[in-house]
A and B are shown apart, each in its own frame.
Chain A
Amino acid sequence: MRKNEEVWPWEDKYGDYALVPVPKKETRSLLTMFYTYTGVLCCIAALWGGSVLGLQFYLKDAIWVAVVGSAVLAVIGGLTAPIGGISRCSTYVNLRPAFGNVGSQVWGTIVSGIPALGWFTVQTWLFGVIMSTIFPEAPWATVFWASIWGGILMLITAYIGFRGLAFFSYLAVPFFMLLAGFGVMIGVQQGGGFAGLASIAPVSPVPFGVGVTEVVGMYVVGAIITADICRFAKKIWHGAAAWTIQLMILQVYMLSGAAAITLVTGEANIAGALLAAGAGIGAFLMAILGQWSTNDNNIYSTSLAINLWLPIQRKYIVLIAGAIGVALAAVIARVWGAAMDPFMAFLTLLGTFLPAAGGVLIADFWLYRWYKGVPLRERYQFQPGMKFGKVNWIGWFSAIVATVLGKWVIPESWGIMCLTCLILGVVLYIVIAIACDKAGAKMDLGEHTIDKTGA
């Protein structure tokens, strides 16, 4: 039995263990981890990512791009998931040692809380767009109305918390996966068998590395915040295992399926293509279940990040933030129509800082604690009364400099941008932290003591 479970000295004041470690009795199986992660993966946007590959690569190359990109993501998630498995805390609580208490609040909100809310808005709007494509004549399926009722549906499971996310993933995942397979079948049927499909030339070919960058960039945020889900894992390795399996098998399969259908039809709108090919109600359910099982995770992550500095029940944060997200989606639908590009560019910019922050977290947990001689299972074992710096300046400095260098200084042709930022974050943090340690310089500014509610 691990140290923080001999006695569970916490009070879960904000619900769903938002600020405190998940107790042993509330942990869940490997299957649940797998389903919940896969639920995040199952969305129309992921299929659109595969469609983009279908426009850029031959099928064989698209599969290799998906494999390599997924392997990179598996490594990143494989490093962050055990942190959640060991600490049993969310990503934002885990940021405390590396960024300080104020740092975890600021970084958690800027790099994940706000972007996740933004993506909730985008996905809700996208849901409206898909509904209006499938049912162009129905008044309830206009982009405006579908954004509203779809957004409200997605809030339900996030309001319940982890159990709600997992419950819905149980329903959505197999369905979505088989429908993605349906995409392959359409590709094979209309492309004249596998041989015919493999010989179809892409419309806008790009270099291999660009494709890998697209695959990694598509899901790198998920790879860094794996702890939000796997803090509920029964065993430390469950999170990493579930994460890796869903990527290496299901993501590759989904991206390849979507690429196949796009190669054949030239159509990037997968739901529309499925409907046209005779998927019937399946296309409709695919849109609902896929968007729902992904978007509830977005708003859930927002609530966890914001809960660090807003001391109210987590479920109320879901309602407030969700209402803002739904209203924004509806306004976008009504006023801007399909012009989402400026908004998405802003979210992408915020998300740019996340890989470097993830790199700092990885460096602090895996390298700096190892350098300090802390045994693996005793790292990040938070206890009431534990003291943290208000700001860990090395974390801030490393994440900002790594992002600036990776995003604006180092040419993108040198590698995968988000991966460059992450690696720079790791290197800067560990080098400066060890140098400060040797020189006896302080890493932390100010002091914060956590109470039994985790605040």
Chain B
Amino acid sequence: MEFKRYVKISSGIILIFPIVLLVLAAVAWSQNVFTGIVYLAIGIIQLVGMALIFPRISKEEDLWELGNKCVQHNWIVLSLGLTGCAMFLAPFFTEGVGTAVPYVAFAVCLVTLLWSIFNLYKAVREAKARLIV
């Protein structure tokens, strides 16, 4: 099934970004522990939220159900991406960590945000999934 393949590949790629965020959390931790905590929290939730899609869709053959599951997991990534974008450049979280780390973290969240929006669009359009599942 074409859509299932797309979901697997796209979810696999999205998984890379929260891992980057976890690396950034490790970098930021010693300079500003609060920044480290926020990166860690968002990274872990996104990582777990997206990783769980694989066992859930592995035996799913119904396109509509597949689309709905895709929507569920991408909402988690989207909402956390939005949160990251709004918080990472705030003065409290940039203090002591330089400029590069916050901007990379912001970019990572922006990519996951945009990508998950596209995935939602694709699930609704191709699998006729519901946006509210």
- Could you tell me the distance in whole angstroms from the C-beta of B82 to the nearest C-beta in chain A? 6
Instruction: Name A175's contact: one of B34, B45, B82, B89 (CB within 8 Å).
Output: B82
Q: Please, which residue of chain A has its CB at the minimum distance from the CB of B91?
A: A278
Q: Does A270 contact B (CB under 8 A)?
A: no
Q: Are B92 and A277 in contact (CB under 8 A)?
A: yes
State which residues 82-133 of B face A: CB under 8 Å: 82-83, 86-87, 89-93, 95, 131-133
| Interface flag for B41 (CB, 8 Å) | yes
Among A28, A167, A174, A280, point to the contact of B90 (Cβ < 8 A): A280
How many inter-chain residue pairs (CB < 8 Å) link A and B?
Answer: 69
Stretch touching chain A among B4-12, B15-23, B72-80: B72-80
A333 at the interface (CB under 8 A from B): no
A347 contacts B by Cβ under 8 Å: no
Choose from A170, A174, A182 the contact partner of B92 (Cβ within 8 Å): A182
Interface residues of A in 16-63 (CB under 8 A from B): 28-29, 31-32
Beyond A166-B132, A185-B37, is A280–B91 a contact (Cβ under 8 Å)? yes
Indicate whether A174 sits within 8 Å of B45 (C-beta atoms), given known contacts A29-B133, A189-B34.
yes
Min Cβ gap B50→A in Å is: 14
A280 to B92, CA, bound (A): 8
List, in ascending order, chain B residues with CB within 8 A of A163's CB: 131-132
- Check if B80 sits within 8 Å of A174, measured CB to CB: yes
The answer to whether B132 and A174 have CB atoms under 8 Å apart is: no
Chain B interfacial residues counted at CB < 8 A: 25
**Distance to closest chain B CB from A436 (angstroms):** 44
A262 to B80 Cα, complex, angstroms: 26
A186–B92 CA distance with the chains assembled, in angstroms = 9
* A285 in contact with B86 (CB, 8 Å): yes
Q: Within the complex, what minimum Cβ distance (angstroms) separates A175 from chain B?
A: 4
- In the complex, the chain B residue whose C-beta lies closest to that of A173 is B79
Q: Are B133 and A32 in contact, with the CB atoms below 8 A?
A: yes
How far is A29 from B90 in the complex, measured between Cα atoms in Å?
A: 34
Known A28-B133, A166-B132, A175-B83: A278·B45 in contact at CB below 8 Å = no
Evaluate contact between B86 and A282: CB separation under 8 angstroms: yes
Q: B38 near A: Cβ within 8 Å?
A: yes
A181 in contact (CB, < 8 A): yes
Chain B residues 29-80 with CB under 8 Å of chain A are: 34, 37-38, 41-42, 45, 72, 75-76, 78-80
Q: Is the CB of A170 within 8 A of B34?
A: no
Q: Measured between C-beta atoms, what is the minimum distance from B45 to chain A in Å? A: 7
- Provide the bound-state CA to CA distance between A32 and B76, in Å: 11
Tell me the bound Cα distance from A185 to B38 in angstroms. 10
A386 at the interface (CB under 8 A from B): no
Given A163-B132, A277-B92, A170 and B86 touching (CB < 8 A)? no
Q: Which residues of A contact B41 (CB under 8 A)?
A: 178, 181
Contact A171 B72 (CB under 8 A): no
Cβ proximity bits A153-189 to B, threshold 8 Å, 1 near / 0 not: 0000000001100110011011100110110011001
Q: Which of B91, B92, B95, B132 has the most CB of A within 10 A?
A: B132
Please name the residue on chain A nearest to B72 by beta carbon: A31
Across the interface, which residues of A come within 8 angstroms of B45, CB to CB? 174
- CB contacts under 8 Å to B, within A242-300, are 277-282, 285
Let me know if B95 and A281 touch, CB within 8 A.
no
Inter-subunit contact A171/B86 (CB<8 Å): no
Chain B residues whose C-beta falls within 8 Å of the C-beta of A166 in the assembled complex: 132
Bound-state CA distance A162–B45 (Å) is: 26
B98 to chain A, nearest CB (A): 16
Q: A185-B37, A278-B91 are in contact. List 4 more A-B contacts (CB 8 A).
A: A170-B79, A182-B92, A189-B34, A279-B92
**18 pairs, CB–CB < 8 Å, chain A vs chain B:** A32-B133, A170-B78, A171-B82, A174-B45, A174-B80, A179-B87, A189-B34, A278-B93, A278-B95, A279-B92, A280-B87, A280-B90, A280-B92, A281-B86, A282-B86, A282-B87, A282-B90, A285-B86
Lowest 10 A-B CB distances belong to which pairs?
Answer: A280-B90, A278-B92, A278-B91, A175-B83, A174-B79, A185-B34, A166-B132, A163-B132, A170-B75, A282-B87
